[in-house]
Amino acid sequence: EAQVTQNPRYLITVTGKKLTVTCSQNMNHEYMSWYRQDPGLGLRQIYYSMNVEVTDKGDVPEGYKVSRKEKRNFPLILESPSPNQTSLYFCASSLSGTSSREQYFGPGTRLTVT
Amino acid sequence: AQTVTQSQPEMSVQEAETVTLSCTYDTSESDYYLFWYKQPPSRQMILVIRQEAYKQQNATENRFSVNFQKAAKSFSLKISDSQLGDAAMYFCAYTPLWSNTGKLIFGQGTTLQVKP
């Protein structure tokens, strides 16, 4: 089954404690993105990757890091989480080029930073 | 800047009736895609319908259809014969055809309540 998986689904942590949210896709997609969803703001892109070892900032990258060492995996790293990073996070993947542009989303990770 | 605006934070509809959710966008691009995503309480993002800007014909998917007005930069979603399972948050999204970021630009979302 074609899918994007994220772990964990829920995470409660304290300010400053480094954490990683994993993302994996099994569709051989080139593009992968991380979004955060906040009330009244919709989803905003944090980082994206066009392929292995190619990543770049999205609209709200401050406080986040990513890596793309394998095509299927795109982890999101919060090295020193702060309460303003409390949010719902989605990983997404899509084919490159000018195809349908459909993005496949993971199930989401609810992060709370206290 | 490219933006997407959903001006209706909440909508409600009676079961079996029709409801229209509004979306406007701003772009200088001529080629792009527009999407409606559904987010039920499970939080999963589900693609409802897609429209290519170069196609004049409005997209339809079963009970879901869009009214795409390119000149007005408007992209509304019509849900016919509403069902209880349609209750969700709906997001309008845009992406330019020639994008190297894979980014979708989302609206703020509209929460749809379906009354039995």
| Per-residue pLDDT at A69 | 97
Closest Cβ–Cβ partner in A44, A100, A107 for B44: A107
Sign of the four-CA dihedral B1, B6, B48, B59: negative
| Per-residue pLDDT, A100 | 58
- From chain B, the residues in CB contact with A90 under 8 A are 45
- CATH code of residue B107: 2.60.40.10
**A105 and B33: CB-CB below 8 Å?**
no
Task: Provide the token pair at A72.
Answer: 């299927």
- Residues above pLDDT 90, as percent of chain B: 84
pLDDT per position as a tens digit, B65-110: 999 999 999 999 999 999 999 999 999 999 988 777 778 999 999 9
B85 in helix, strand or coil? helix
Contact B108, B3 (CB under 8 A): no
A45·B43 Cβ contact <8 A: no
Q: Is A40's CB within 8 Å of B103's CB?
A: no
Q: Indicate the SS3 state at residue B18.
A: coil
Residue A61 is predicted with a pLDDT of 97
Contact A107, B44 (CB under 8 A): yes
**Chain B residues with CB inside 8 Å of A98's CB?**
97-98
Q: How many domains does chain B have?
A: 1
Residue pointed to by tokens 């709906």: B90
Q: What is the pLDDT of residue B103?
A: 85
Shortest CA distance from B104: residue in chain A = A45
Residue B56: predicted pLDDT:
85
pLDDT digits (tens, 9 = 90+) for B5-23: 999 999 999 999 999 999 9
Q: What is the pLDDT of residue A103?
A: 86
State the residue range of the domain holding B39: 3-115
A86–chain B nearest CA distance, Å: 16
Q: Along the 114 residues of chain A, how does pLDDT read in single tens digits?
A: 889 999 999 999 999 999 999 999 999 999 999 999 999 999 999 999 999 999 999 999 999 999 999 999 999 999 999 999 999 999 999 886 545 567 899 999 999 999
DSSP secondary structure, A16-39, as one string:
T--EEEEEEESS--SEEEEEEEET
Residues 6+ apart with CB under 8 A from A101: A94, B33, B50, B95, B97, B99
Measured distance CA(B32)–CA(B28) in Å, rounded: 10
Looking only at the bridges linking them, the beta strands covering B88-96 and B110-115 are antiparallel
* Chain A residues closer than 8 Å to B25 by CB: none
Rg (CA), chain A: 13
Which structure tokens are listed for A81? 């989480």
Distance CA A50, CA B20 (A): 36
